[in-house]
């Protein structure tokens, strides 16, 4: 039988946790899917229960009523659960990762390994408590799906790429230059982030959370701190929450500006790259001047923020936003009216809304394909419940739509930054983190620039971390890229790929 606990009292962002059996979970997921809900994340945990070890599958779901986290306790001798990928397609890779890391298997799910890459023996699982044996010498013959027929050939790309990009393997099946199929394989670095969390205290963990995916440092930090504050019964001061939102919107702006320049460059419009690079650099320099760091890695901490905004910097930040708003609007018009740019953008990498819904695509890329998920609007946390963020939606689903979403969201972030600066509350910027309850669980969810970031945390004795599971929206969106490139020519892949701009790092824990 299921048992449910309400974790937050605010109906604006209701969070519930329940325990149930595997068949009940399957029925619940069906109900969520039928009501337009989505899968947020799925992960597995091995934990001590007295003298025994137990295995727990956790599934986070979201619908219009809020978020629900479900725990299913599995048979310790044979930890299995019903395959959920037939309900939520995004569950497939999450289930495969749960098996690779914790040895928890979906009955009837795909048997292909996802993260192992022969980096550890096939019967070893890094997130279990048993010591990990040394890696063997065996190769990992990953069974890519083959496409056969007259004139079909494969183009393998990666996993090692030029420059500083992280590793990922792309296998194109093509006829001439037209793509028939793309299949990715990721997770080559094995950073061990989830295991590393287990050796840290709640206060120390925020530094690691900020570095899961560097372009989303504020989003991951805030989601992590939200989870810590839940297990420690800590309420950040109002000023701290407004500063967190200011940091988050500036992070969103920096990434959108960088992407808009890179997308212009991929379309052969170097002028766009130079202009947006200039605007991004100005924003980062102002970050360093006003907040002590270009990328704000350590600005958000449990209980509040680590850096305040001096009153003397507010007028300059306001002027910066006014100037930036005018330049972004001007460049938007230039992009929209440049025939060469639009020829490359329009119709490229199209992902229709119906397919986007089936795939469960979220965040920026989802909003370019008619998916209206945005945590700032759906489940607004403070201060977004006061700010009233405007949702940005395009329905064409192509590169042009994803570029349009970036322009509109950049202008909306500028509006939000000006409101945050104008109405920034007075008061302290942090609150003490009270000792957490041993075994207490907390959850954080923040709409980062790429999409919703989710962190699940369980506390251990002495304010230590028993388990921390961070989840990046790229888990949902990498499969969508495979579909978006079908029917396009190979030379358009860099442009299409950049229009999604998914993270390797946030996918490789």
268, pLDDT greater than 80: yes
How do residues 291-302 score in pLDDT, each as one tens digit?
A: 999 999 999 999
How do residues 313-323 score in pLDDT, each as one tens digit?
A: 999 999 999 99
Judge contact between 191 and 497, C-beta under 8 A. Answer: no
CA angle, residues 96, 98, 103, in degrees to nearest 5: 100
Judge contact between 158 and 168, C-beta under 8 A. Answer: yes
How do residues 200-225 score in pLDDT, each as one tens digit?
A: 999 999 999 999 999 999 999 999 99
Q: What is the CA radius of gyration of the chain?
A: 23
Q: pLDDT band at 138, cuts 50/70/90? A: low
Look at residues 370, 408, 406, 414 and name the one whose alpha carbon lies nearest to residue 499.
406
Q: What is the pTM of this model?
A: 0.95
Classified as helix, coil or strand, 487 is: coil
Q: pLDDT band at 310, cuts 50/70/90? A: very high
Judge contact between 411 and 322, C-beta under 8 A. Answer: no
Least confident of 86-95, 157-166, 351-360: 157-166
Pure H helices in 399-501:
399-422, 474-484, 493-500
Least confident of 279-288, 406-415, 433-442: 433-442
51, pLDDT greater than 90: no
Judge contact between 456 and 440, C-beta under 8 A. Answer: no
Average pLDDT in the 351-374 region? 97
Residue ranges of the chain that CATH labels 3.30.460.80 = 1-130
Classified as helix, coil or strand, 503 is: coil
pLDDT value of position 403: 98
How much of the chain, in percent, has pLDDT values that exceed 70? 96
User: 70-102 as b/e, with b when 16 or more CB fall inside 10 Å?
Assistant: bbbbbeeeebbbbbbbebbbbbbbbbbbbbbbb
Peptide bond into 122 cis (omega under 30): no
pLDDT value of position 164: 81
Enumerate residues 6+ apart whose C-beta is below 8 A from 482.
181, 182, 183, 184
110 vs 294, more confident? 294
Longest pairwise C-alpha distance within the chain: 70
Judge contact between 69 and 443, C-beta under 8 A. Answer: yes
Q: What distance in Å separates the CA atoms of residue 453 and residue 473, rounded to the nearest whole number?
A: 6
232-236, 347-351, 430-434, range with greatest mean pLDDT: 347-351
Least confident of 141-150, 295-304, 353-362, 409-418: 141-150
pLDDT value of position 6: 47
Q: CB 54: neighbour CB atoms within 10 A?
A: 15
479, pLDDT greater than 70: yes
Enumerate residues 6+ apart whose C-beta is below 8 A from 427.
237, 238, 239
9, pLDDT greater than 60: no
pLDDT value of position 398: 98
Q: pLDDT band at 14, cuts 50/70/90? A: low
Q: What distance in Å separates the CA atoms of residue 347 and residue 294, rounded to the nearest whole number?
A: 36
- Fold category of 235-431 in CATH: Cytochrome-c3 Hydrogenase; chain B (1.10.645)
How do residues 372-405 score in pLDDT, each as one tens digit?
A: 999 999 999 999 999 999 999 999 999 999 999 9
Q: pLDDT band at 3, cuts 50/70/90? A: low
Q: What distance in Å separates the CA atoms of residue 121 and residue 131, rounded to the nearest whole number?
A: 12
Residue ranges of the chain that CATH labels 1.10.645.10 = 235-431
CATH 3.90.320.10 applies to domain 1-130: no
pLDDT value of position 447: 98
Residue ranges of the chain that CATH labels 3.30.390 = 152-188+473-509
142 vs 200, more confident? 200
Tell which CATH classification among 3.30.390, 3.40.50, 3.30.70, 2.70.98 matches the domain 152-188+473-509. Answer: 3.30.390
pLDDT value of position 204: 97
Residues in the chain, overall count: 509
Q: pLDDT band at 118, cuts 50/70/90? A: confident
Judge contact between 400 and 422, C-beta under 8 A. Answer: no
49 vs 66, more confident? 66
Average pLDDT over the chain, rounded to an integer: 93
């Amino acid at each position: 039988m299921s048992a449910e606990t309400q974790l937050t009292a605010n109906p604006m962002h209701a969070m519930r946790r329940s325990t149930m059996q595997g068949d009940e979970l399957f029925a619940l997921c069906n109900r969520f899917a039928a009501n337009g809900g989505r899968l947020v994340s799925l992960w597995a945990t091995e934990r001590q229960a007295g003298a025994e070890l137990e295995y727990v599958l956790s599934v986070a779901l979201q619908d219009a009523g809020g978020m629900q986290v479900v725990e299913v306790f599995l048979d310790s001798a044979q930890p299995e659960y019903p395959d959920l990928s037939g309900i939520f397609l995004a569950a497939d890779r999450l289930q495969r990762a749960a098996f690779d890391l914790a040895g928890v298997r979906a009955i009837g799910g795909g048997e292909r390994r996802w993260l192992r890459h022969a980096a550890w023996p096939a019967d070893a699982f890094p997130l279990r408590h048993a010591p990990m044996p040394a890696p063997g010498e065996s190769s990992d013959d990953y069974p890519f799906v083959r496409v056969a027929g007259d004139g079909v050939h494969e183009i393998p790309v990666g996993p090692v790429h030029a420059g500083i990009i992280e590793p990922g393997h792309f296998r194109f099946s093509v006829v001439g230059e037209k793509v028939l199929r793309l299949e990715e394989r990721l997770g080559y670095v094995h950073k061990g982030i989830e295991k590393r969390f287990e050796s840290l205290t709640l206060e120390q963990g925020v530094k690691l959370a900020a570095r899961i995916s560097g372009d989303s440092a504020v989003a991951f930090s805030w989601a992590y701190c939200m989870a810590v504050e839940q297990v420690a019964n800590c309420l950040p001061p109002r000023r701290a929450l407004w500063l967190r939102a200011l940091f988050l919107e500036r992070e969103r702006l920096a990434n959108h500006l960088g992407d808009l320049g890179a997308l212009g460059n991929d379309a052969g419009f170097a002028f766009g790259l130079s202009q947006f690079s200039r605007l991004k650099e100005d924003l980062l320099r102002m970050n360093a001047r006003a907040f002590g760091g270009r990328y704000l890695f350590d600005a958000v901490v449990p209980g509040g923020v680590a850096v305040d905004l001096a009153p003397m910097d507010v007028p300059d930040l306001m002027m910066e936003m006014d100037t930036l708003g005018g330049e972004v609007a001007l460049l938007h018009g230039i992009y929209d009216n440049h025939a060469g740019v639009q020829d490359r953008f329009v119709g490229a990498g199209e992902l229709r809304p119906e397919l986007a819904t089936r795939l469960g695509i979220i965040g920026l890329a989802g909003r370019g394909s008619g998916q209206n998920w945005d945590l700032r609007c759906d489940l607004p946390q403070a201060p977004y419940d006061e700010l009233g963020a405007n949702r940005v939606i395009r329905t064409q689903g192509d590169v042009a739509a994803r570029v349009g979403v970036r322009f509109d969201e950049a202008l909306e972030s500028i509006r939000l930054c000006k409101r945050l600066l104008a109405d920034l509350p007075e008061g302290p910027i942090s609150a003490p983190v009270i000792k957490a309850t041993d075994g207490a669980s907390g959850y954080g969810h923040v709409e980062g620039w790429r999409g919703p970031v989710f962190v699940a945390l369980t506390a251990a004795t002495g304010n230590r971390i028993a388990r921390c599971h961070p989840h990046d929206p790229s888990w949902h969106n990498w499969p969508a890229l495979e579909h978006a490139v079908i029917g396009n020519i190979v030379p358009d892949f860099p442009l299409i790929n950049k229009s999604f701009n998914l993270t390797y790092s946030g996918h490789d824990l």
